[in-house]
Structure 1
Amino acid sequence: MAKEIKDELKDVLTRVVDSADGYENAAEDAKAGRFAVMFREKAQERRGFASEIRNHLTGLGEDVKEDGSLLAGAHRTFTELKNAVTGGSDDAILKEIERGESTLLKEYDDALEDIPSTDMAYGVLQRQRESVSRSLSEVKTYES
């Protein structure tokens, strides 16, 4: 069971790091200042999420670093964001962020299905998931 929890947490961690990176890229190239500020805040929030997940994994005996061993085989949720950002409009960036947030939300849902609600990680992931869901709703309100 602990192995399953570790694997689920690592999967979520990978997506959360991708999300933080995607938001940082978006902040650098957003045309509207309000979006740049929002994207930087989201990147910071996701870095905090990653730290929480890493701390939980460390408590389970995992040596987790944000390096190639964790991220090497990961599918990058925000890969397309880089293309949208380079020469793209804020609308294109928002659309790609929406896609990425939807993917991250699914990752949280999958993990929450597999992790017992009695495990400490469950509460952490549930709280983080709620924040991602709010972020997704917020991004949708900005789309034209």
Structure 2
Amino acid sequence: MTNEKSISHLNDVLETLIDSSDGYAKATEVADREVFKNFFVRRSAARRAMATEIKAEIKQLGGEPENEGTILAKAHRVFLTISAALQDNDEAAIEAVDTGEEHLRDKIEQALQTDELSVSSKAILSNFQGELRADKRLIDYLEEAVD
């Protein structure tokens, strides 16, 4: 295991965290109900905090953290805007957030399954998994609320 491999995996997760934070911010814009907007604002802040922690780890390992999300996520946010215009904004926002969160959970799981992460990097990502599972349950609850 080299720091370069850890840095690469962490930057991959970092891009997805940035995407997630931006996705929640976009969901806040299109949601109608205040309860959903508040949830999305809190989750966006939580993802930014995770990203800050990953950036610090990357720097600790001697790397340079990514500063932007992915092009695919930008396209997804455009889709969210269009989708919200065509249906219930709350439903569109929740569906988009759920899709993004599933992608984030997968990225973290993939990174954790490699033997290429430093011990400290594994600890950070493992800690994130608990929060992501709790968020999944909340998103499921919100999905039921709009049905």
Tell me the TM-score normalized by structure 2. Answer: 0.85
Counterpart-to-counterpart distance in 2, 1:59 and 1:44: 23
1:14 lines up with 2:11 in the alignment: no
State how many pairs are aligned: 140
Q: How does 1:1-144 map to 2 (within 5 A)?
A: 1=1, 2-67=3-68, 71=69, 74-76=71-73, 78-79=76-77, 80-86=79-85, 88-89=87-88, 90-115=90-115, 119-143=119-143, 144=147
Q: CA deviation at 1:114?
A: 1.2
Is the alpha carbon distance of 1:58 and 1:111 closer, same or farther for their aligned partners in structure 2, counting shifts above 3 Å?
same
Backbone CA RMSD of aligned residues: 2.0
Higher relative contact order (CA closer than 8 Å, sequence separation 6+)? 2
The offset of 1:91, in angstroms, is 1.1
Go from structure 1 to structure 2 and tell me whether the alpha carbon gap of 1:136 and 1:124 turns closer, same or farther (over 3 Å shift): same
CA contact (8 A) 1:14 1:74 kept: no
Give 3-state SS (helix, strand or coil) of 2:73's partner: coil
Given that 2:10 and 2:58 are in contact with CA atoms closer than 8 Å, whether structure 1 keeps it comes out as yes
Percent of aligned positions that are identical? 23
Q: Quick check: 2:6–2:118 contact (8 Å CA) kept in 1? A: no
Which letter does structure 2 place at the counterpart of 1:75?
L
**1:138–1:112: structure 2 CA closer, same or farther, 3 Å change rule?**
same
Q: How far is the alpha carbon of 1:130 from its aligned partner?
A: 1.6
1:59 Cα deviation from its structure 2 partner: 0.5
Query: What is the TM-score normalised by the length of structure 1?
Result: 0.86
| Range with greater deviation from structure 2 (125-134 or 11-20) | 125-134
Displacement of 1:29 in angstroms is 2.0
Of 97-106 and 44-53, the range deviating more from structure 2: 97-106
Q: Higher helix share goes to which structure?
A: 2
Q: Which runs of 5+ in 2 are unaligned?
A: none
- Hey, what's the Cα distance between the residues in 2 that align with 1:106 and 1:32? 29
- Of stretches 49-58 and 107-116 in structure 1, the one that deviates more from structure 2 is 107-116
